[in-house]
Amino acid sequence: MKNIILIIALILINSCNAQQKIIKSLNDNKLTEKIINQFSNKANVKIDNSIFALYFQENPHMTEVHNDNVTNYTHDGITITIYRFGSVNQINEFSKDYEVYKKSNKIFFIFNKNSNHKTLNSFKINKQSYFDMTVINDGYDPKSWTITFNRDGDLEKCSPYDCN
């Protein structure tokens, strides 16, 4: 009987550990890497030869559709949408209308010009107006993934892929 209880306890502990969230909040110092890795796994996107852009929006206008019901609202928080591009030239197009920051040769952060949320300041390093075109790959993958945080920076939901 003790063995059965011990086995059940171990199964429950292991299932709890497996369900721990990888992405928890905006304050995670490895947030970018976690988002890219999760997106790559869920969307079946290769990290090699990919250029990623993370688009940060404060209080975005959202539309949710459930069956035939459409709900429009302003989300009280922040969303991050990750895109995969095949060319830095595609990122250059964003720099015309948005603030673009370079994390590395293959990772960029995009913000609306009026973005001023204090939590996002840690991402706003290395502002760019034009990018080196030597890193060019072919193609564009239209897959994207939106991660929604509340105004305190805590994870709320993700779509179209699960958060963790």
- Beta bridge partners of residue 49, listed in sequence order: none
| Tens of pLDDT, residues 17-37 | 444 568 888 888 888 999 999
| Tens of pLDDT, residues 111-163 | 888 887 677 777 777 676 655 545 444 455 567 888 888 888 888 888 877 77
pLDDT of residue 74 exceeding 80? yes
The domain segmentation of the chain, as residue ranges, is 23-159
At 139, list the tokens. Answer: 């193609």
DSSP characters for 11-75?
HHHHHHHHT--S--BTT-TTHHHHHHHHHHHHHT--STT-EEEEEEEES-EEEEEETTEEEEEE-
pTM for the model stands at 0.73
Predicted local distance difference test score (pLDDT) of residue 4: 52
11: Cβ contacts below 8 Å, ≥ 6 apart: none
Predicted local distance difference test score (pLDDT) of residue 55: 92
| Tens of pLDDT, residues 79-108 | 999 998 877 878 877 888 888 888 888 999
Rounded mean pLDDT, 35-47: 88
